[in-house]
Amino acid sequence: MSVAANRRRVDPDPAFARAFEEAASRLPGARFPELATARERAIARFVELGIPTQRDEAWKFTPVARLVNRPHAVRPPSEPPLERVLPHLLGGPKARRLVFVNGVLQPQWSHVGGLPERASIESLARVLETRPTAVLEELAEPDQGRSFTALNAALTDCGAWIELSPGTELADPVQLLFLTVAGASAPMSHPRIVLRLGAGARLALIESHVGLEPGPALTNLVFGARLQEGATLAHDRLLFQAAEAAFVGRAEVHLGGASRYEQTTLALGGALLRSESEVSIEGGEVECRLCGLAVPREGEHVDTFVRVHHRAPASHSDQLFKSVVEERGHHAFAGKIFVHPGAQRTNAYQKNENLLLAEDGEVDVKPELEIYADDVKCSHGATCSELDPSALFYLRARGLDAATARGLLTWAFAAELLGRLADPSARAAARRALAARLPAGAPADEEAAA
């Protein structure tokens, strides 16, 4: 096979196919032959595609096979105690929420009741049982050679299907919380989130992926959202995986005219966090903002992969991605803006700033613009630096010791992204996680002085 010959892919561990065979009959919707066939096809496709190596341009900086190509278990049972889960329940007392542990819905912590008539939030497992053809259509979307999308199609068993009819607005956020309890079982889960916002609909979504126990684990997410004319989606994403765990996520977002999409991703823990976003702007007057902060350390690898397509005139996209790379941390950022023919009067910006705190940390950046229209304003900028010596001197010359000054400057650099999260409780949770991660933590009594 030519694909194997140039080694852009390696064969998946046979354990994936075995896990599929063992799990297939108990996956939600298994009783529907069409669905079962689609899943069979998808696992065969995954095996055929293989797992990308660093020869694959889209995975150039990330040794994903090393971290992911190993045996995992499907839906190993686990019951984490409530007190471990509580800190991760976000969105306020009135939030609607679906909580999963290793891919299994936890009804005791989930509630999506009291919705307006024209809104629905269902767990994906339920939709697989009640409306399998709807999911089939989603699974039938071409994977364009993406192995993990094929793997997700084969094994998807959790996640959510959210639809808001035109003009529907949810006053309180919706949280999707995916907990992974690794332990010895090396669980994998394949969540799929389908989001449809009708014209003028508004939603605040908090998507959390949290590891409660260290150990090998894989979360392989496919997120697909369609926003009709004038719809608004605030999308906060917290990636707090535990040590040794891998997260591979792809978000595909279609934006209709005058819609507004704000995505903020905080990547604060996990052996591998691959966060792929592909946004297609399909109407004018769209406001799209993508932001992210990565703080990898001690062998952690964060890979941020962004594609923004301007396919219609007069829209605006803005990207701000930062990283703080500590000892043996690795951040890879690849971001590309496409301005397609006819997308005149596009404003598209991309900023990538990396703070490299350790000599053995690594940062790879690949910013790109591809423009096929002449009346556009586009720019990208990428920086990689240490802390500014003149700022350090300024703080020390006012009496702050070197460690405090470094801590304060690092916090100031990173904390900008906390402010981009739409939900206050997500911001507070991210603030705690960030403080625990940075060497000097959060500045002492910052609030009191503010």
Beta carbon of residue 330, minimum distance to other proteins (angstroms, whole number): 24
Tokens standing for residue 362: 């690594």
Report d(CA 195, CA 389) in Å as an integer: 46
404 to 54, 353, 411: CA distances (angstroms): 39, 22, 10
Beta carbon of residue 441, minimum distance to other proteins (angstroms, whole number): 14
Q: For other proteins, give the closer residue by CB, 372 or 393.
A: 393
Q: For other proteins, give the closer residue by CB, 89 or 293.
A: 293
Q: Are 286 and 313 in contact (CB under 8 A)?
A: no
Q: For other proteins, give the closer residue by CB, 112 or 391.
A: 391
Beta carbon of residue 317, minimum distance to other proteins (angstroms, whole number): 23
Q: List the Cα angle 280/284/288 in 5-degree steps.
A: 50
Q: Are 267 and 219 in contact (CB under 8 A)?
A: no
Strands 158-164 and 119-123: antiparallel
Q: For other proteins, give the closer residue by CB, 171 or 450.
A: 450
In 10 A of CB 133, how many CB atoms?
A: 9
Report d(CA 199, CA 259) in Å as an integer: 8
Q: For other proteins, give the closer residue by CB, 41 or 396.
A: 396
Beta carbon of residue 437, minimum distance to other proteins (angstroms, whole number): 17
What is the enclosing helix (H) or strand (E) of 446?
A: helix 446-449
Q: Where are the alpha helices (DSSP H) in 63-172?
A: 64-68, 82-85, 124-130, 132-139, 147-155
Q: For other proteins, give the closer residue by CB, 99 or 414.
A: 414
**DSSP secondary structure, 148-187, as one string:** HHHHHHHH--EEEEEEE-TT-B-SS-EEEEEEEE-TTS-E
What residue ranges bind other proteins (CB under 8 A)?
388-391, 393-402, 404-405, 408-409, 411-413, 415-416, 443-444, 446, 448-450
Q: List the Cα angle 297/300/305 in 5-degree steps.
A: 115
Q: For other proteins, give the closer residue by CB, 184 or 448.
A: 448
Distance in Å from the first CA to the final CA of the chain: 62
Report d(CA 229, CA 200) in Å as an integer: 6
Beta carbon of residue 132, minimum distance to other proteins (angstroms, whole number): 50
Q: For other proteins, give the closer residue by CB, 96 or 322.
A: 322
Report d(CA 424, CA 448) in Å as an integer: 18
Q: For other proteins, give the closer residue by CB, 343 or 433.
A: 433
Beta carbon of residue 422, minimum distance to other proteins (angstroms, whole number): 20
Beta carbon of residue 416, minimum distance to other proteins (angstroms, whole number): 6
Beta carbon of residue 402, minimum distance to other proteins (angstroms, whole number): 7
Q: For other proteins, give the closer residue by CB, 1 or 448.
A: 448
Beta carbon of residue 417, minimum distance to other proteins (angstroms, whole number): 10
In 10 A of CB 181, how many CB atoms?
A: 21
Around 298, how many Cα atoms within 13 Å sit in the side-chain half-sphere?
9
Beta carbon of residue 266, minimum distance to other proteins (angstroms, whole number): 16
